[in-house]
Structure 1
């Protein structure tokens, strides 16, 4: 199987013309598939950029932003209360979603390419997803899936590393940039180098990506297909549709209260604030437009008659942006946000609808992570892979049973743009240990009673701290984790 996947990667990389023909035949039913492939589930993944756990109504009944389509999806699916990203910033989590592995294994531990210094130099950073990695798209292609990618990629600096060379038949808009920084950004002309057809002036990016995704679904409704819609929304620049901005300005005018509070100071001389009240009209407009785009794709599944045989997964790549770059959202009661290993930076919306498996409106509180997407989707499609992954198949949890996993881990040896702490973390059961890389200090929290991480129990539970820290350090070794480095003539950083 490993040899087959590597051969497939060669074909995908070097035979674009063949892929076009394959896609055309698949669209018209001419692509030969094994008899049992007709029963394989289709898969649609929605990945939203920078969306916080508290940014959707399904997780937050008092949410300022309106997300009726995502909330309706949750009512037909299983919602996870303790779902995580593998990293508090984007590229590492995107790597984990594609491969099922912790990003520390290939030193993809910060956004590509973020190399900010603080008291120490950051750890070495690999800013390309290695081509030898087997992606979820490549795995599904061994079972005859047509594969589609739209939106933000941010997993490589040149076309060699783009989606079309990592298992996707079609790539609409995925390239090296971490945001919509070309053209008029969120409005056409986009001037995106990976959009073969430009939109008419004024077209809105999330809607454009949703339309292309919907067209792919309808063209491949005989299945099986894999559609990965990776929104540029709701990442900066903060730009929204004028009609929605006006709506939320009026809504915000009815809300009183303190918008910002004091945040922990860990970098630089400027005092840092954290948003504690959701009231940002432009951000709200961006969230609602993204929700409308999700609704358009879900409606297409119904219109194409494939909703009952399609797994739908909705999540984000890191926590909401609460402490920098405009600080547009609040993650409270979760602490911190994007760039922090506190819950506000790594706990994400996770919704999974697997017809015939998940119970509509069900809720699961078992910890899951972005490393679990690859093994879960591969298992659903009957893909047998021989290489090791870190994630687990979520099928037991989706059926209402328990997962067989002791711990989840995080490793962020960088100074984030949002002021976050270079740190690692481990979660076991309800307990989470955070280890700071500048000085080795630890914090221990009981997330069951203190999901806001305000009551540090480290001094009260030294035995638990010692046990969890030993396992965290063993994990560092198992993934060959790298740490902060000494500056010239500077102090030596702590090391585990």
Structure 2
């Protein structure tokens, strides 16, 4: 072979090798909105009165999943599932969420998606709302798991914050511990409070609500979301210059309370402040995509946008109804519920190098599935005691019309369970299990059966409880949930342990259970 051809051949082989290596190590940017409803995006809901042009464009350039679900109807459990690939009800947290000063929920010995990507040579970062607990230095005798931290005297803010994201797979983190309505209102960067509280603030307004608590000099509630976005953009710019694959987990505190759109978005949506805040989030997503494109990394970056659960009543549904907007679209319920609108969430993937543009998938996926999907893409091996509830949906990303999950477990704020398999969904509660009617308190005064069964293909709005006509299906789904709980996992592999007991039978179910032969 001529010398020139040898050089050309070498360059082509080298380029091909680099391309293949990059294809198996794409950057990952995972944006988690807070309390954003499935029907709030105009690409999901043609009747949406809130226009989301940036997310609509991203969906057209990528893939939109219409049957995506969070692991829970509320914040903390969903976030646990994203990072660990495991349902949160397997931990000490059997209901509700953590407070703003709660201790860490994720065991530091647990293998996370951050650990997996670090092992594959990624730089990993968390910028935003953590809400999985970390360990402030509390004064002796002071309880830490609390929502009523009204002053800053019980925490020594000069001491390191332990067992945060840096202990479970993140090289860098900057964020706030809980929801933006939970004190203390301080930023923590790599285990250090950036500025100690110097005042106490509170907002009693229904939409703009935040609890009374110590607030740092560098912390202004209305500026938190823009701050996280700016820092996320800076991170992208820095990693693009440095080179090497990166993972940015960017959980936003919006449009959760306090609902505080910045000035340029007030009144823009034509709905209310919540709609304005959603439009601000949409605009921020345009900024993130611009940063990826301007820094030359958009082509081989997996950009994912989703939400931790459905829309909260704090959005003021009466105001939204008045203009014809339904945050849950056709689905029943809202945040906190076992009904669909509590956990069916928007899910958009943009990855020019890895998927065809303009695709829509009805594959059922869960937010716990990030772990297994990323492992599949990067060809990483998952330990047998990790990601117990994570299933790869890479085949769906590649365009296959396929159902990858055997079943999906849903969980409400009061600890009620539901399980979905195919078109069928069994709720082990007489009502919503959450905040929409009938609430757990309301069901105590009503004569309702303790379980509900819906065929979502025929009844997506969950109006007709058909358990009496489909007892075999009740038995099938109940048995499947029982096995998932007993085995400590819902995927193939050795049996694992849950922390503490995990009862899932609703009150008053014993008699019906016997009649069903369960």
> Does the Cα contact within 8 Å between 2:28 and 2:302 map onto a contact in 1?
yes
2:90 equivalent to 1:99 = no
What secondary structure sits across from 2:268 in the alignment?
Answer: helix
Deviation at 1:192, TM superposition (A): 2.6
Whole-angstrom distance in 2 between the partners of 1:475 and 1:201: 43
Moved more, 146-155 or 350-359: 350-359
2:503 equivalent to 1:483 = yes
Whole-angstrom distance in 2 between the partners of 1:57 and 1:35: 36
* Residue aligning to 2:458: 449
- List per-residue Cα deviations over 1:440-469 (Å, max 9, x = no partner): 722111111211101111122122122222
- List per-residue Cα deviations over 1:311-352 (Å, max 9, x = no partner): 111111111113x67557632421111110100101000111
> Does the Cα contact within 8 Å between 1:214 and 1:300 map onto a contact in 2?
yes
> Does the Cα contact within 8 Å between 2:363 and 2:404 map onto a contact in 1?
no
* Residue aligning to 2:46: 61
* Residue aligning to 2:239: 220
2:156 equivalent to 1:155 = no
Moved more, 396-405 or 291-300: 396-405
2:487 equivalent to 1:466 = no
Aligned pairs (5 A) from 1:86-485: 86-113=71-98, 128-158=105-135, 159-175=161-177, 177-179=178-180, 181=182, 191-194=186-189, 196=194, 204-221=223-240, 222-248=243-269, 251=270, 279=271, 281-322=272-313, 326-327=316-317, 330-387=327-384, 388-389=386-387, 390-401=389-400, 402-412=402-412, 414-415=413-414, 422-436=415-429, 441-479=450-488, 480=498, 482-483=502-503
> Does the Cα contact within 8 Å between 1:153 and 1:174 map onto a contact in 2?
yes
What secondary structure sits across from 2:127 in the alignment?
Answer: strand
What secondary structure sits across from 2:289 in the alignment?
Answer: helix
> Does the Cα contact within 8 Å between 2:89 and 2:95 map onto a contact in 1?
no
Equivalent pairs, count: 404
Deviation at 1:212, TM superposition (A): 0.9
Whole-angstrom distance in 1 between the partners of 2:416 and 2:273: 32
> Does the Cα contact within 8 Å between 1:155 and 1:161 map onto a contact in 2?
no
> Does the Cα contact within 8 Å between 1:152 and 1:173 map onto a contact in 2?
yes
> Does the Cα contact within 8 Å between 1:182 and 1:192 map onto a contact in 2?
no
Whole-angstrom distance in 2 between the partners of 1:300 and 1:130: 34
**Bigger radius of gyration:** 2
What secondary structure sits across from 1:147 in the alignment?
Answer: strand
Whole-angstrom distance in 2 between the partners of 1:104 and 1:126: 17
> Does the Cα contact within 8 Å between 1:238 and 1:283 map onto a contact in 2?
yes
Structure 1 pair 434/492, CA: closer, same or farther in 2 (3 Å)?
Answer: closer
- List per-residue Cα deviations over 1:62-82 (Å, max 9, x = no partner): 212221111111001111110
Whole-angstrom distance in 1 between the partners of 2:251 and 2:380: 23
5+ residue gaps, structure 1: 1-33, 115-124, 184-189, 252-278, 416-421
TM-score by length of 2: 0.71
Structure 1 pair 172/467, CA: closer, same or farther in 2 (3 Å)?
Answer: same
What secondary structure sits across from 2:303 in the alignment?
Answer: strand
What secondary structure sits across from 1:167 in the alignment?
Answer: coil
Deviation at 1:157, TM superposition (A): 4.2
Deviation at 1:191, TM superposition (A): 4.2
* Residue aligning to 1:418: none
Whole-angstrom distance in 2 between the partners of 1:200 and 1:371: 31
Whole-angstrom distance in 1 between the partners of 2:171 and 2:247: 10
Whole-angstrom distance in 1 between the partners of 2:315 and 2:394: 38
Deviation at 1:138, TM superposition (A): 1.4
What secondary structure sits across from 2:417 in the alignment?
Answer: strand
Structure 1 pair 455/109, CA: closer, same or farther in 2 (3 Å)?
Answer: same
What secondary structure sits across from 2:428 in the alignment?
Answer: strand
Deviation at 1:243, TM superposition (A): 3.3
Moved more, 238-247 or 76-85: 238-247
- RMSD between aligned alpha carbons? 3.0
* Residue aligning to 1:45: 30
> Does the Cα contact within 8 Å between 2:186 and 2:194 map onto a contact in 1?
no
Deviation at 1:101, TM superposition (A): 1.1
What secondary structure sits across from 1:378 in the alignment?
Answer: helix
